[in-house]
Structure 1
Amino acid sequence: MASVRTLFILAIALVACGAPDVGSFLRDPAPVVSAQTNAQDAVKQVIERANQAQAAAFNGGDATAMKATATDAFYTDLIRTNRELAGAGATKIELESTEFVSVSVNSDTATAVTLETWRTTYSDGTSDEQTARNEYALVLSDGTWRIESDDQATATRQPAPATSTDTGVPTAAIASSTSSNWSGYAASGGKFTSVTATWTVPNVTATGSGADATWIGIGGLESRDLIQAGTQAMVGGGDVTYQAWIEMLPGSSRPVPLSVTGGDSVTVAITQTGASDWSIGMKNNTTGERYTTTVKYVSSNSSAEWVQEAPSVGRGLVPLDNFGTLTFTSASAVRDGAKMDVRALDAHAITMINGARQAIATPSVIGADGASFSVTRTQAPSDGATPRRRRG
């Protein structure tokens, strides 16, 4: 590589010969690229300052700091958002991390996409952590970038996809108990302190009305306690609504702020961290979003489950929708301090049946890896019955 002294002498020689001023190129390299980079950095800094200002405004009660990085309309939105958080019982919000996925600047407008992880603490002492995708729009006003909007991913409501036929039907499990609303595998015998699995949210057809819920849990097989978390699809009016949720019986299920839709890969884990303390973690592997929370719950620790369910409303069941075939992978639990897959746990299969005792959802045999199996919807009709094992 030529030294600075060599380049300087060359520049003088070229100027003496009437050539272009090479020195000017050395002094002012790539002004367009530099300006673009500086603008992107400025956008990132505004978003980071805006998030810090929102947290400070919520935690300290002074909203004026949010004005410096927001348009008037977006400032009003931020005030409303903070009021809604307080109304939901939140007492503190903290930004854990920000990952910039993309930043694009076009003259006096800009867009940015981030993955942001926020922790929220509630008045009852619980807290949750959520990673969400944020899509920002910014405008340049009087030489300052201001956020105009921030669109966050929400629960998806969409027309159902067309029906597809799966010719690769999994081999059904030979020995199986039956349930009016569960299908999958359950393990018992010992103390269970953690359970986990990964599955792909089914692409559900919108024929008629119905629902399905996919979850993992601890307790509930032969006891009245059950802590569980999973995903759900609700079919009605030609649409399918997808949702992530958690539940601790005898309480009812509640949705959580993790966006899911058909085809998304989801990993869920439930872990006991103290005598009555539990951590619930959910990740949408497709989008990168995460949700975590800590809850208080007294469990019998008597069983672990990996289940596809026909959810219940009141004392009756919602008809099971046409979910096709669902596959659990990496299904395992910690029993008596040892982590084991479903095969090592000697988990038993559960077949869902209707009122005529016809199988409407059947589990496959456990895969060669010991940690995977499928649940397949049959052609038999589903009916509303009184559940023997129920969610909610």
Structure 2
Amino acid sequence: MPATRRSSLAIAAALLAVAANTAPALAASAPAVPNAPMIPSGSAPHLVGPHGEILHSSSSNWSGYATTGAKFTSVSASWVQPTATCDGNDSYSSFWVGLDGDGSDSVEQTGTEVDCSEGSPLYSSWYEMYPAYPVNFNDAVRPGDHFTASVTAGDGGSFTLKLSDTTQGWSHTVKKTLSNAALASAEIIAEAPSDASGPLPLTNFGTVDFTGAKVNDKPLGSFNPDNITMATNGSTLATTSPITDSKDFSVSWKRSS
């Protein structure tokens, strides 16, 4: 899918600025690397359910669950911020809930991130009304923090994006407007953020557990959502577990690129 993304040079400059002014393990904000619409990898066929719904697909930048085929006006979930394992190479990962992006060119989303810069992890949080660039929150994010996030669409193209760190005790509620949002999908995703060349190397985040996932105020599992594997060039980068209790699942890192 077409997307306008920041250049690698801009990302590198931002990384250096952050590294120079924040403690690496507890960085309040990381570079604003865009999270983009789902990019189908084409490396695996769709599995289709009895009513024509897509049950499994492959993407080069997303892993998690997405649901389509109706109008979606709300999505929410909780997760624990994963701990990054950095190997000296720069890498990136984000965890979020959002509307749109699966089959559309806009995404309304909020979540957290952990990037690796020169061997050190940078933890951060943000919201994004893609194709606009993401906006970072300034609050500290630590591995092990418990997060709850939601995106809700209202009348006239209005959106309310809420992200809460219940461990640190901070919360942000952002109200934005996007008049042309399709409201054609809802998702809970672990992502490899992108620059101008496409998806960047995926940070080793281990496993992230998403819990209490709801879409349109109903359990995620009631929508027969699409289980998405992140894969590129025949290599699996991250896998998504089955849904349990209609609302809980995990995404596990496999390799960076």
Q: Is the shorter-chain TM-score for this pair beyond 0.5, marking a shared fold?
A: yes
The residue that corresponds to 2:194 in the other structure is 312
Tell me the TM-score normalized by structure 1. Answer: 0.51
Q: Does 1:362 align with 2:244?
A: no
1:272 shift after superposition? 1.5
Report 1 or 2 for greater relative contact order, CA contacts < 8 Å, sequence distance ≥ 6.
2
RMSD: 1.9
User: 2:24 corresponds to which residue?
Assistant: 157
TM-score (norm 2): 0.77
User: Which residue identity does 2:251 align to in structure 1?
Assistant: V
Residue 294 of structure 1 is matched in structure 2 by: 175
Distance (Å, rounded) in 2 between the aligned partners of 1:263 and 1:192: 30
In structure 2, relative to structure 1, the CA distance for the partners of 1:273 and 1:259 (3 Å cut) is farther
> Matched residue of 2:222: which SS?
coil
Paired residue for 1:252?
A: 133
**Alpha-carbon distance, 1:155 to partner:** 7.5
- 1:344 counterpart = 2:201: no
- State which structure, 1 or 2, has the greater radius of gyration over its C-alpha atoms: 1
Counterpart check, 1:280 vs 2:147: no
Q: Report the secondary structure of 1:350's partner residue.
A: strand
For structure 1, the 5+ residue unaligned runs are 1-153, 161-173, 384-392
Letter in 2 for 1:301: L
Q: 1:1-392, aligned counterparts within 5 Å?
A: 157-158=24-25, 176-207=56-87, 208-298=89-179, 299-334=181-216, 339-355=217-233, 357-367=234-244, 369-378=245-254, 380=255, 382-383=256-257
5+ residue gaps in structure 2? 1-20, 28-46, 48-54
Q: What CA distance in whole angstroms lies between the structure 2 residues aligned with 1:262 and 1:217?
A: 22
Q: 1:159 to 1:248 in 2, by over 3 A?
A: closer
Identity %: 33
Alignment check: 8 A CA contact 2:73 2:183 kept: yes
2-structure distance, mates of 1:249, 1:213:
14
1:196-223 deviations in Å (ceiling 9; x for gaps)? 0000111001212201110111011011
Q: Secondary structure at the match of 1:359?
A: strand
Superimposed CA distance per residue, residues 57-77 of structure 1 (whole angstroms, 9 cap, x where no aligned partner): xxxxxxxxxxxxxxxxxxxxx
Distance 2:231 2:247 in 1: 24
Moved over 4 A (4+): none
- Whether the 8 Å contact between 1:258 and 1:291 is mirrored in structure 2 is no
2:218 aligns to what SS in structure 1? Answer: strand
Equivalent residue pairs, number: 209
Do 1:155 and 1:258's aligned partners in 2 also have CA atoms closer than 8 Å?
no
